[in-house]
Structure 1
Protein backbone atom coordinates (compact mmCIF):
# COMPACT_ATOMS: atom_id res chain seq x y z
CA UNK A 1 0.00 0.00 0.00
CA UNK A 2 2.44 2.63 -1.19
CA UNK A 3 0.31 4.73 -3.54
CA UNK A 4 -2.42 7.32 -3.08
CA UNK A 5 -5.92 6.73 -1.80
CA UNK A 6 -8.28 6.79 -4.80
CA UNK A 7 -11.69 8.29 -4.03
CA UNK A 8 -14.28 7.76 -6.77
CA UNK A 9 -17.69 9.24 -7.55
CA UNK A 10 -19.86 10.15 -10.51
CA UNK A 11 -19.37 13.84 -9.77
CA UNK A 12 -18.47 16.16 -6.91
CA UNK A 13 -20.55 14.30 -4.30
CA UNK A 14 -17.57 12.23 -3.22
CA UNK A 15 -15.94 15.41 -1.94
CA UNK A 16 -18.19 15.04 1.10
CA UNK A 17 -16.49 11.70 1.80
CA UNK A 18 -13.05 12.98 0.82
CA UNK A 19 -13.42 15.70 3.46
CA UNK A 20 -13.80 13.10 6.24
CA UNK A 21 -10.89 10.99 4.93
CA UNK A 22 -8.56 13.95 4.48
CA UNK A 23 -9.27 15.25 7.98
CA UNK A 24 -8.25 11.83 9.36
CA UNK A 25 -5.28 11.32 7.02
CA UNK A 26 -3.99 14.78 6.00
CA UNK A 27 -0.51 13.41 5.29
CA UNK A 28 -1.68 10.89 2.68
CA UNK A 29 -1.81 11.50 -1.04
CA UNK A 30 -5.38 11.38 -2.37
CA UNK A 31 -6.53 11.11 -5.97
CA UNK A 32 -10.15 12.17 -6.52
CA UNK A 33 -11.61 10.56 -9.64
CA UNK A 34 -15.06 11.58 -10.88
CA UNK A 35 -16.92 10.30 -13.92
CA UNK A 36 -18.85 13.46 -14.81
CA UNK A 37 -19.25 12.32 -18.43
CA UNK A 38 -21.86 9.77 -17.26
CA UNK A 39 -23.45 11.82 -14.49
CA UNK A 40 -25.98 11.22 -12.89
CA UNK A 41 -25.37 7.56 -12.05
CA UNK A 42 -28.80 7.15 -10.47
CA UNK A 43 -30.36 7.22 -13.95
CA UNK A 44 -28.04 4.65 -15.62
CA UNK A 45 -29.01 1.05 -16.23
CA UNK A 46 -27.13 -1.40 -14.03
CA UNK A 47 -24.91 -3.02 -16.66
CA UNK A 48 -23.79 0.32 -18.08
CA UNK A 49 -22.97 1.55 -14.58
CA UNK A 50 -21.04 -1.57 -13.60
CA UNK A 51 -19.03 -1.80 -16.82
CA UNK A 52 -18.20 1.91 -16.94
CA UNK A 53 -17.19 2.20 -13.27
CA UNK A 54 -15.10 -0.94 -13.13
CA UNK A 55 -13.20 -0.22 -16.34
CA UNK A 56 -12.44 3.37 -15.31
CA UNK A 57 -11.45 2.61 -11.72
CA UNK A 58 -9.25 -0.40 -12.53
CA UNK A 59 -7.46 1.55 -15.28
CA UNK A 60 -6.78 4.50 -12.99
CA UNK A 61 -5.71 2.31 -10.04
CA UNK A 62 -2.99 0.86 -12.26
CA UNK A 63 -1.99 4.27 -13.66
CA UNK A 64 -1.43 5.87 -10.25
CA UNK A 65 -0.59 2.68 -8.30
CA UNK A 66 -3.35 3.36 -5.79
CA UNK A 67 -3.17 1.71 -2.38
CA UNK A 68 -6.89 1.67 -1.61
CA UNK A 69 -10.11 2.50 -3.47
CA UNK A 70 -13.06 4.30 -1.92
CA UNK A 71 -16.23 4.12 -4.01
CA UNK A 72 -17.80 7.29 -2.61
CA UNK A 73 -21.05 6.84 -4.51
CA UNK A 74 -24.10 5.04 -3.16
CA UNK A 75 -25.49 4.24 -6.61
CA UNK A 76 -22.21 2.60 -7.63
CA UNK A 77 -21.50 0.91 -4.29
CA UNK A 78 -24.73 -1.08 -4.43
CA UNK A 79 -23.53 -2.69 -7.68
CA UNK A 80 -19.81 -2.57 -8.44
CA UNK A 81 -18.00 -3.61 -5.25
CA UNK A 82 -18.01 -7.40 -5.90
CA UNK A 83 -16.59 -7.01 -9.41
CA UNK A 84 -14.00 -4.47 -8.31
CA UNK A 85 -12.81 -6.77 -5.54
CA UNK A 86 -12.40 -9.58 -8.09
CA UNK A 87 -10.22 -7.43 -10.33
CA UNK A 88 -8.14 -5.58 -7.72
CA UNK A 89 -5.78 -6.88 -5.06
CA UNK A 90 -6.05 -3.77 -2.88
CA UNK A 91 -8.79 -2.88 -0.35
CA UNK A 92 -12.04 -1.53 -1.81
CA UNK A 93 -14.35 0.45 0.49
CA UNK A 94 -17.90 1.41 -0.42
CA UNK A 95 -20.57 3.59 1.12
CA UNK A 96 -23.73 2.24 2.71
CA UNK A 97 -26.81 4.38 3.46
CA UNK A 98 -26.86 5.11 7.21
CA UNK A 99 -30.08 3.16 7.83
CA UNK A 100 -28.77 1.41 10.94
CA UNK A 101 -27.70 4.49 12.92
CA UNK A 102 -30.86 6.32 11.84
CA UNK A 103 -33.05 3.55 13.22
CA UNK A 104 -31.07 3.52 16.47
CA UNK A 105 -31.60 7.22 17.21
CA UNK A 106 -35.10 7.86 15.83
CA UNK A 107 -37.62 8.86 18.51
CA UNK A 108 -40.69 8.87 16.27
CA UNK A 109 -39.67 5.50 14.73
CA UNK A 110 -40.18 7.14 11.36
CA UNK A 111 -37.04 7.68 9.29
CA UNK A 112 -36.47 8.84 5.74
CA UNK A 113 -34.04 7.87 3.02
CA UNK A 114 -33.21 10.53 0.46
CA UNK A 115 -31.21 8.97 -2.39
CA UNK A 116 -31.04 8.54 -6.15
CA UNK A 117 -33.81 6.53 -7.84
CA UNK A 118 -31.42 3.61 -8.37
CA UNK A 119 -30.44 3.39 -4.71
CA UNK A 120 -34.03 3.73 -3.50
CA UNK A 121 -35.33 0.86 -5.64
CA UNK A 122 -32.51 -1.68 -5.30
CA UNK A 123 -32.93 -4.83 -3.23
CA UNK A 124 -29.70 -3.97 -1.42
CA UNK A 125 -31.43 -0.98 0.19
CA UNK A 126 -34.51 -2.98 1.13
CA UNK A 127 -32.28 -5.58 2.76
CA UNK A 128 -30.69 -2.85 4.90
CA UNK A 129 -34.13 -1.68 5.97
CA UNK A 130 -35.28 -5.23 6.76
CA UNK A 131 -32.11 -5.92 8.76
CA UNK A 132 -31.75 -2.69 10.73
CA UNK A 133 -35.02 -0.72 10.59
CA UNK A 134 -37.77 -3.34 10.62
CA UNK A 135 -39.43 -1.62 13.58
CA UNK A 136 -39.46 1.78 11.84
CA UNK A 137 -41.61 3.30 9.18
CA UNK A 138 -39.24 4.23 6.34
CA UNK A 139 -40.17 6.85 3.76
CA UNK A 140 -38.13 6.56 0.55
CA UNK A 141 -37.60 9.58 -1.69
CA UNK A 142 -35.65 9.13 -4.93
CA UNK A 143 -34.29 12.12 -6.83
CA UNK A 144 -31.59 12.82 -9.39
CA UNK A 145 -32.52 16.51 -9.51
CA UNK A 146 -30.84 17.07 -6.15
CA UNK A 147 -27.61 15.62 -7.59
CA UNK A 148 -27.70 18.17 -10.39
CA UNK A 149 -28.46 20.98 -7.93
CA UNK A 150 -25.39 19.98 -5.88
CA UNK A 151 -23.30 19.94 -9.06
CA UNK A 152 -24.60 23.41 -9.96
CA UNK A 153 -23.72 24.69 -6.48
CA UNK A 154 -20.16 23.39 -6.93
CA UNK A 155 -20.02 25.32 -10.22
CA UNK A 156 -20.81 28.49 -8.22
CA UNK A 157 -24.32 28.77 -9.66
CA UNK A 158 -27.33 29.98 -7.66
CA UNK A 159 -29.20 27.26 -5.78
CA UNK A 160 -32.98 27.28 -6.34
CA UNK A 161 -34.32 26.74 -2.82
CA UNK A 162 -37.88 26.42 -4.18
CA UNK A 163 -36.85 23.39 -6.22
CA UNK A 164 -35.36 21.77 -3.11
CA UNK A 165 -38.58 22.59 -1.25
CA UNK A 166 -40.59 20.64 -3.85
CA UNK A 167 -38.23 17.64 -3.69
CA UNK A 168 -38.41 17.50 0.11
CA UNK A 169 -42.19 18.02 0.32
CA UNK A 170 -42.89 14.28 0.99
CA UNK A 171 -40.48 14.42 3.94
CA UNK A 172 -41.65 17.75 5.31
CA UNK A 173 -45.26 16.51 5.41
CA UNK A 174 -44.43 13.64 7.84
CA UNK A 175 -43.22 13.12 11.41
CA UNK A 176 -39.80 11.91 10.20
CA UNK A 177 -37.18 12.92 12.75
CA UNK A 178 -34.10 11.37 11.09
CA UNK A 179 -33.21 11.63 7.41
CA UNK A 180 -30.51 9.50 5.78
CA UNK A 181 -28.66 11.31 3.01
CA UNK A 182 -28.17 8.25 0.82
CA UNK A 183 -26.23 9.99 -1.94
CA UNK A 184 -22.83 11.54 -1.32
CA UNK A 185 -23.89 14.65 -3.24
CA UNK A 186 -26.54 15.51 -0.68
CA UNK A 187 -24.32 16.51 2.30
CA UNK A 188 -23.01 19.30 0.05
CA UNK A 189 -26.55 20.73 0.28
CA UNK A 190 -26.91 20.23 4.02
CA UNK A 191 -27.36 23.94 4.68
CA UNK A 192 -30.18 24.19 2.13
CA UNK A 193 -31.84 20.95 3.29
CA UNK A 194 -31.71 22.17 6.90
CA UNK A 195 -33.27 25.44 5.80
CA UNK A 196 -36.18 23.73 4.04
CA UNK A 197 -36.77 21.27 6.90
CA UNK A 198 -36.39 24.13 9.41
CA UNK A 199 -33.67 22.16 11.24
CA UNK A 200 -36.32 19.87 12.72
CA UNK A 201 -34.84 16.69 11.23
CA UNK A 202 -31.50 15.04 12.06
CA UNK A 203 -29.44 14.53 8.87
CA UNK A 204 -27.17 11.48 8.70
CA UNK A 205 -24.59 10.43 6.12
CA UNK A 206 -21.85 7.79 5.92
CA UNK A 207 -18.77 10.01 5.68
CA UNK A 208 -17.43 9.36 9.18
CA UNK A 209 -17.94 5.59 8.89
CA UNK A 210 -16.14 5.42 5.54
CA UNK A 211 -13.21 7.46 6.86
CA UNK A 212 -12.92 5.17 9.90
CA UNK A 213 -12.82 2.13 7.60
CA UNK A 214 -10.09 3.67 5.43
CA UNK A 215 -8.10 4.65 8.53
CA UNK A 216 -8.25 1.07 9.82
CA UNK A 217 -6.84 -0.27 6.53
CA UNK A 218 -4.06 2.31 6.51
CA UNK A 219 -3.11 1.65 10.14
CA UNK A 220 -3.06 -2.11 9.54
CA UNK A 221 -0.58 -1.63 6.70
CA UNK A 222 1.37 1.36 8.00
CA UNK A 223 4.71 -0.45 7.86
CA UNK A 224 4.30 -0.85 4.08
CA UNK A 225 3.54 2.80 3.44
CA UNK A 226 6.13 5.19 2.13
CA UNK A 227 6.36 8.78 3.38
CA UNK A 228 3.44 10.82 2.11
CA UNK A 229 3.37 14.50 1.20
CA UNK A 230 -0.38 15.06 1.30
CA UNK A 231 -0.57 15.65 -2.48
CA UNK A 232 -4.09 16.08 -3.84
CA UNK A 233 -4.94 15.37 -7.48
CA UNK A 234 -8.27 15.19 -9.29
CA UNK A 235 -9.19 13.41 -12.51
CA UNK A 236 -12.43 13.75 -14.48
CA UNK A 237 -13.95 12.36 -17.67
CA UNK A 238 -15.55 15.53 -19.08
CA UNK A 239 -14.24 19.10 -19.26
CA UNK A 240 -15.15 21.22 -16.22
CA UNK A 241 -15.86 24.93 -15.95
CA UNK A 242 -14.01 27.61 -13.98
CA UNK A 243 -16.53 27.52 -11.13
CA UNK A 244 -15.90 23.83 -10.50
CA UNK A 245 -12.14 24.34 -10.80
CA UNK A 246 -12.43 26.97 -8.07
CA UNK A 247 -14.43 24.60 -5.84
CA UNK A 248 -11.86 21.83 -6.32
CA UNK A 249 -9.13 24.32 -5.44
CA UNK A 250 -11.02 25.19 -2.25
CA UNK A 251 -10.71 21.51 -1.27
CA UNK A 252 -6.99 21.56 -2.11
CA UNK A 253 -7.13 20.05 -5.62
CA UNK A 254 -4.97 22.18 -7.89
CA UNK A 255 -3.52 19.32 -9.98
CA UNK A 256 -6.27 18.45 -12.47
CA UNK A 257 -6.34 15.78 -15.19
CA UNK A 258 -8.83 15.03 -17.96
CA UNK A 259 -9.22 11.25 -18.50
CA UNK A 260 -10.60 9.62 -21.65
CA UNK A 261 -13.56 7.31 -21.12
CA UNK A 262 -13.38 3.97 -22.97
CA UNK A 263 -16.26 3.23 -25.32
Structure 2
Protein backbone atom coordinates (compact mmCIF):
# COMPACT_ATOMS: atom_id res chain seq x y z
CA UNK A 1 0.00 0.00 0.00
CA UNK A 2 1.12 3.53 -0.69
CA UNK A 3 0.93 4.66 2.94
CA UNK A 4 3.25 1.90 4.16
CA UNK A 5 5.72 2.70 1.40
CA UNK A 6 5.78 6.37 2.38
CA UNK A 7 6.11 5.58 6.08
CA UNK A 8 9.28 3.60 5.37
CA UNK A 9 10.70 6.59 3.50
CA UNK A 10 9.87 8.92 6.40
CA UNK A 11 11.34 6.58 9.00
CA UNK A 12 14.62 6.46 7.03
CA UNK A 13 14.70 10.27 7.27
CA UNK A 14 13.96 10.11 11.03
CA UNK A 15 10.60 11.82 10.52
CA UNK A 16 7.78 10.76 12.87
CA UNK A 17 4.78 9.26 11.12
CA UNK A 18 1.10 9.51 11.96
CA UNK A 19 -1.47 6.98 10.74
CA UNK A 20 -3.95 9.81 10.19
CA UNK A 21 -1.89 11.77 7.66
CA UNK A 22 -2.03 10.89 3.99
CA UNK A 23 -0.91 12.22 0.61
CA UNK A 24 -3.55 14.40 -1.06
CA UNK A 25 -4.64 13.36 -4.55
CA UNK A 26 -6.59 15.97 -6.47
CA UNK A 27 -8.81 14.54 -9.23
CA UNK A 28 -10.31 17.05 -11.67
CA UNK A 29 -12.87 16.71 -14.46
CA UNK A 30 -15.42 18.93 -16.17
CA UNK A 31 -18.13 16.60 -14.85
CA UNK A 32 -18.44 13.28 -13.04
CA UNK A 33 -16.65 11.13 -15.63
CA UNK A 34 -13.47 11.53 -13.61
CA UNK A 35 -15.00 9.35 -10.89
CA UNK A 36 -14.02 6.38 -13.08
CA UNK A 37 -10.35 7.40 -12.71
CA UNK A 38 -10.77 8.11 -9.00
CA UNK A 39 -12.13 4.61 -8.44
CA UNK A 40 -9.11 3.02 -10.09
CA UNK A 41 -6.66 5.07 -8.03
CA UNK A 42 -8.54 4.34 -4.82
CA UNK A 43 -8.34 0.59 -5.49
CA UNK A 44 -4.56 0.89 -5.19
CA UNK A 45 -4.46 3.54 -2.49
CA UNK A 46 -7.65 3.49 -0.39
CA UNK A 47 -6.02 5.41 2.47
CA UNK A 48 -5.00 8.49 0.51
CA UNK A 49 -6.80 11.80 0.96
CA UNK A 50 -8.89 12.67 -2.11
CA UNK A 51 -10.28 15.95 -3.40
CA UNK A 52 -12.63 15.65 -6.37
CA UNK A 53 -13.30 18.81 -8.37
CA UNK A 54 -15.79 19.10 -11.21
CA UNK A 55 -16.63 22.15 -13.26
CA UNK A 56 -20.40 21.88 -13.53
CA UNK A 57 -20.57 25.58 -14.34
CA UNK A 58 -18.77 25.21 -17.71
CA UNK A 59 -19.62 21.55 -18.42
CA UNK A 60 -19.24 20.12 -21.01
CA UNK A 61 -15.76 21.07 -22.24
CA UNK A 62 -15.95 19.17 -25.51
CA UNK A 63 -17.25 22.06 -27.63
CA UNK A 64 -15.25 24.82 -25.89
CA UNK A 65 -12.21 26.57 -27.42
CA UNK A 66 -8.68 25.50 -26.43
CA UNK A 67 -7.99 28.94 -24.97
CA UNK A 68 -11.07 28.77 -22.77
CA UNK A 69 -10.24 25.26 -21.51
CA UNK A 70 -6.57 26.05 -20.78
CA UNK A 71 -7.38 29.19 -18.81
CA UNK A 72 -10.33 27.63 -17.03
CA UNK A 73 -8.47 24.53 -15.85
CA UNK A 74 -5.47 26.61 -14.78
CA UNK A 75 -7.60 28.91 -12.63
CA UNK A 76 -9.39 25.99 -11.00
CA UNK A 77 -6.20 24.10 -10.11
CA UNK A 78 -4.63 27.35 -8.85
CA UNK A 79 -7.64 27.98 -6.60
CA UNK A 80 -7.44 24.49 -5.11
CA UNK A 81 -3.66 24.68 -4.63
CA UNK A 82 -4.08 27.95 -2.73
CA UNK A 83 -6.36 26.20 -0.21
CA UNK A 84 -4.80 22.74 0.16
CA UNK A 85 -1.43 21.00 0.17
CA UNK A 86 -1.58 18.94 -3.01
CA UNK A 87 0.66 15.90 -3.40
CA UNK A 88 -0.38 15.20 -6.99
CA UNK A 89 -3.10 16.31 -9.41
CA UNK A 90 -4.85 14.06 -11.89
CA UNK A 91 -6.58 15.75 -14.81
CA UNK A 92 -9.22 13.05 -15.30
CA UNK A 93 -10.52 14.62 -18.51
CA UNK A 94 -9.17 13.86 -21.98
CA UNK A 95 -10.39 17.18 -23.35
CA UNK A 96 -8.64 19.21 -20.66
CA UNK A 97 -5.49 17.06 -20.69
CA UNK A 98 -4.82 17.24 -24.41
CA UNK A 99 -4.67 21.05 -24.34
CA UNK A 100 -3.73 22.21 -20.82
CA UNK A 101 -1.02 19.89 -19.46
CA UNK A 102 1.89 21.99 -20.74
CA UNK A 103 0.76 25.15 -18.95
CA UNK A 104 -0.15 23.31 -15.76
CA UNK A 105 3.18 21.50 -15.53
CA UNK A 106 5.11 24.71 -16.09
CA UNK A 107 3.35 26.52 -13.26
CA UNK A 108 2.79 24.00 -10.47
CA UNK A 109 5.52 22.23 -8.49
CA UNK A 110 3.50 19.08 -7.73
CA UNK A 111 3.27 16.33 -10.40
CA UNK A 112 0.32 16.45 -12.78
CA UNK A 113 -0.97 13.32 -14.48
CA UNK A 114 -3.01 13.68 -17.65
CA UNK A 115 -5.59 11.49 -19.35
CA UNK A 116 -5.02 11.07 -23.07
CA UNK A 117 -6.45 8.67 -25.69
CA UNK A 118 -4.93 5.19 -25.29
CA UNK A 119 -3.60 4.92 -28.85
CA UNK A 120 -0.65 2.62 -28.12
CA UNK A 121 -2.62 -0.02 -26.14
CA UNK A 122 -5.28 -0.06 -28.87
CA UNK A 123 -2.68 -0.74 -31.55
CA UNK A 124 -1.44 -3.74 -29.56
CA UNK A 125 -5.01 -5.01 -29.16
CA UNK A 126 -6.55 -4.64 -32.63
CA UNK A 127 -6.80 -7.69 -34.87
CA UNK A 128 -8.09 -6.12 -38.08
CA UNK A 129 -6.08 -2.88 -37.84
CA UNK A 130 -9.19 -0.68 -37.62
CA UNK A 131 -9.49 1.33 -34.42
CA UNK A 132 -12.32 3.62 -33.38
CA UNK A 133 -11.52 6.73 -31.35
CA UNK A 134 -14.61 7.84 -29.46
CA UNK A 135 -13.98 11.27 -27.96
CA UNK A 136 -15.11 14.88 -27.73
CA UNK A 137 -14.65 17.38 -30.56
CA UNK A 138 -11.89 19.20 -28.67
CA UNK A 139 -9.95 15.98 -28.01
CA UNK A 140 -10.14 14.84 -31.62
CA UNK A 141 -9.11 18.27 -32.95
CA UNK A 142 -6.23 18.70 -30.50
CA UNK A 143 -2.66 18.78 -31.73
CA UNK A 144 -1.70 16.27 -29.04
CA UNK A 145 -4.15 13.64 -30.29
CA UNK A 146 -3.08 14.13 -33.89
CA UNK A 147 0.57 13.69 -32.91
CA UNK A 148 -0.24 10.46 -31.04
CA UNK A 149 -1.97 9.05 -34.11
CA UNK A 150 0.77 10.14 -36.54
CA UNK A 151 3.50 8.78 -34.32
CA UNK A 152 2.08 5.42 -33.29
CA UNK A 153 -0.77 4.47 -35.63
CA UNK A 154 0.76 4.77 -39.10
CA UNK A 155 0.00 1.10 -39.83
CA UNK A 156 -3.57 1.23 -38.55
CA UNK A 157 -6.74 2.92 -39.69
CA UNK A 158 -8.10 5.27 -37.03
CA UNK A 159 -11.74 6.24 -37.47
CA UNK A 160 -12.85 9.08 -35.23
CA UNK A 161 -16.24 9.97 -33.81
CA UNK A 162 -17.09 12.88 -31.52
CA UNK A 163 -20.24 12.94 -29.44
CA UNK A 164 -21.31 15.46 -26.80
CA UNK A 165 -24.56 13.52 -26.52
CA UNK A 166 -22.73 10.50 -25.13
CA UNK A 167 -21.07 12.74 -22.54
CA UNK A 168 -24.50 13.99 -21.46
CA UNK A 169 -25.87 10.43 -21.28
CA UNK A 170 -22.99 9.37 -19.04
CA UNK A 171 -23.43 12.40 -16.81
CA UNK A 172 -27.16 11.70 -16.45
CA UNK A 173 -26.44 8.04 -15.65
CA UNK A 174 -24.53 9.12 -12.55
CA UNK A 175 -27.56 11.19 -11.58
CA UNK A 176 -29.72 8.06 -11.83
CA UNK A 177 -31.15 8.23 -15.38
CA UNK A 178 -30.82 5.05 -17.43
CA UNK A 179 -29.02 5.66 -20.78
CA UNK A 180 -31.01 4.96 -23.95
CA UNK A 181 -29.47 2.10 -25.94
CA UNK A 182 -31.35 3.37 -28.98
CA UNK A 183 -29.65 6.77 -28.73
CA UNK A 184 -26.25 5.15 -28.28
CA UNK A 185 -26.89 2.90 -31.25
CA UNK A 186 -27.78 5.91 -33.44
CA UNK A 187 -24.57 7.69 -32.41
CA UNK A 188 -22.23 4.82 -33.30
CA UNK A 189 -24.29 3.49 -36.25
CA UNK A 190 -21.80 4.81 -38.81
CA UNK A 191 -19.15 2.50 -37.36
CA UNK A 192 -21.33 -0.58 -37.05
CA UNK A 193 -22.49 -0.28 -40.65
CA UNK A 194 -18.95 -0.06 -42.05
CA UNK A 195 -17.99 -2.97 -44.39
CA UNK A 196 -15.42 -3.86 -41.73
CA UNK A 197 -16.17 -2.14 -38.42
CA UNK A 198 -13.43 -1.25 -35.92
CA UNK A 199 -12.69 -4.18 -33.63
CA UNK A 200 -11.11 -1.98 -30.98
CA UNK A 201 -12.68 1.15 -29.49
CA UNK A 202 -10.70 3.77 -27.57
CA UNK A 203 -12.84 5.42 -24.91
CA UNK A 204 -11.27 8.85 -25.34
CA UNK A 205 -13.36 10.56 -22.67
CA UNK A 206 -13.58 9.52 -19.03
CA UNK A 207 -17.37 9.87 -19.20
CA UNK A 208 -17.46 7.02 -21.71
CA UNK A 209 -15.95 4.64 -19.14
CA UNK A 210 -19.26 4.97 -17.31
CA UNK A 211 -21.11 3.75 -20.42
CA UNK A 212 -18.92 0.73 -21.13
CA UNK A 213 -21.67 -1.79 -20.31
CA UNK A 214 -24.15 -0.01 -22.61
CA UNK A 215 -21.59 0.29 -25.41
CA UNK A 216 -20.85 -3.43 -25.21
CA UNK A 217 -24.52 -4.12 -25.90
CA UNK A 218 -24.62 -2.14 -29.16
CA UNK A 219 -21.21 -3.04 -30.63
CA UNK A 220 -20.40 -6.46 -32.16
CA UNK A 221 -19.73 -9.16 -29.55
CA UNK A 222 -15.93 -9.39 -29.88
CA UNK A 223 -15.27 -5.63 -29.87
CA UNK A 224 -12.53 -4.61 -27.42
CA UNK A 225 -12.81 -1.40 -25.38
CA UNK A 226 -9.65 0.41 -24.33
CA UNK A 227 -9.34 3.07 -21.67
CA UNK A 228 -6.40 4.43 -19.72
CA UNK A 229 -7.85 4.41 -16.19
CA UNK A 230 -5.73 1.54 -14.86
CA UNK A 231 -2.51 2.95 -16.35
CA UNK A 232 -3.29 6.40 -14.93
CA UNK A 233 -3.85 4.96 -11.46
CA UNK A 234 -0.54 3.07 -11.52
CA UNK A 235 1.31 6.13 -12.81
CA UNK A 236 -0.23 8.31 -10.10
CA UNK A 237 0.87 6.01 -7.28
CA UNK A 238 4.34 5.58 -8.77
CA UNK A 239 4.84 9.34 -8.89
CA UNK A 240 3.74 9.73 -5.27
CA UNK A 241 6.03 6.98 -4.08
CA UNK A 242 8.98 8.51 -5.91
CA UNK A 243 8.59 12.12 -4.77
CA UNK A 244 11.52 13.49 -2.79
CA UNK A 245 9.34 15.68 -0.59
CA UNK A 246 5.73 14.70 0.04
CA UNK A 247 2.95 16.92 1.29
CA UNK A 248 0.50 15.26 3.69
CA UNK A 249 -3.00 15.98 4.95
CA UNK A 250 -5.19 14.83 7.82
CA UNK A 251 -8.40 16.03 6.11
CA UNK A 252 -11.36 13.89 5.10
CA UNK A 253 -12.27 13.29 1.47
CA UNK A 254 -14.46 16.00 -0.05
CA UNK A 255 -15.53 17.42 -3.39
CA UNK A 256 -15.75 20.83 -4.99
CA UNK A 257 -18.10 22.07 -7.69
CA UNK A 258 -18.16 25.46 -9.41
CA UNK A 259 -21.91 26.00 -9.20
CA UNK A 260 -24.51 25.06 -6.59
CA UNK A 261 -27.82 24.14 -8.23
CA UNK A 262 -30.85 21.88 -7.83
CA UNK A 263 -29.24 19.09 -9.87
CA UNK A 264 -26.72 18.48 -7.10
CA UNK A 265 -29.24 16.89 -4.74
CA UNK A 266 -28.84 13.41 -6.21
CA UNK A 267 -25.15 13.90 -6.86
CA UNK A 268 -24.47 14.65 -3.20
CA UNK A 269 -25.76 11.18 -2.38
CA UNK A 270 -23.59 9.61 -5.12
CA UNK A 271 -20.49 11.45 -3.91
CA UNK A 272 -21.09 10.28 -0.35
CA UNK A 273 -21.27 6.69 -1.58
CA UNK A 274 -17.94 7.29 -3.34
CA UNK A 275 -16.41 8.41 -0.04
CA UNK A 276 -16.68 12.20 -0.22
CA UNK A 277 -18.20 13.48 3.00
CA UNK A 278 -19.06 16.95 1.73
CA UNK A 279 -19.53 19.05 -1.40
CA UNK A 280 -18.34 22.64 -1.41
CA UNK A 281 -18.49 25.45 -3.94
CA UNK A 282 -15.21 26.65 -5.40
CA UNK A 283 -14.88 30.30 -6.39
CA UNK A 284 -12.30 31.32 -8.99
TM-score under structure 2 length normalisation: 0.87
Q: Using the alignment, how far apart are the partners of 1:213 and 1:68 within structure 2?
A: 11
Aligned position for 2:276:
253
2:255 matched to which residue of 1?
A: 234
SS state of the match for residue 12, structure 1?
A: coil
Q: C-alpha root-mean-square deviation of aligned residues, in Å?
A: 1.8
Distance 1:47 1:215 in 2: 30
Q: How many residues align?
A: 260
1:171–1:228 distance in 2 versus 1, CA, 3 Å: farther
Q: Deviations over 1:136-184 (max 9, x none)?
A: 1111001111111111111112322211111111222232111000000
- Partner Cα distance (1:156, 1:191) in 2: 15
Are 1:155 and 1:242, in contact at CA under 8 Å, matched by a contact in 2?
Answer: no
The 8 Å contact of residues 74 and 119 in structure 1, kept in 2 or not, is answered as yes
Classify 1:112/1:184 alpha carbon distance in 2 versus 1 (closer, same or farther; 3 Å): same
Q: 1:25 offset after TM fit, Å?
A: 0.8
| TM-score normalised according to structure 1 size | 0.93
SS in 2 for 1:134: coil
1:214 to 2:248 alignment: no
Q: Residue 89 of structure 1 aligns to a residue in which SS?
A: coil
Which runs of no fewer than 5 residues in structure 1 stay unpaired? none
Q: Secondary structure at the match of 1:195?
A: helix
Runs of 4+ residues over 4 Å off in structure 1: 225-229
Report what 2:17 is aligned to: none
Contact 1:6 1:61 (8 Å CA) reproduced:
no
Instruction: Report the Cα offset of residue 225 of structure 1.
Output: 5.5
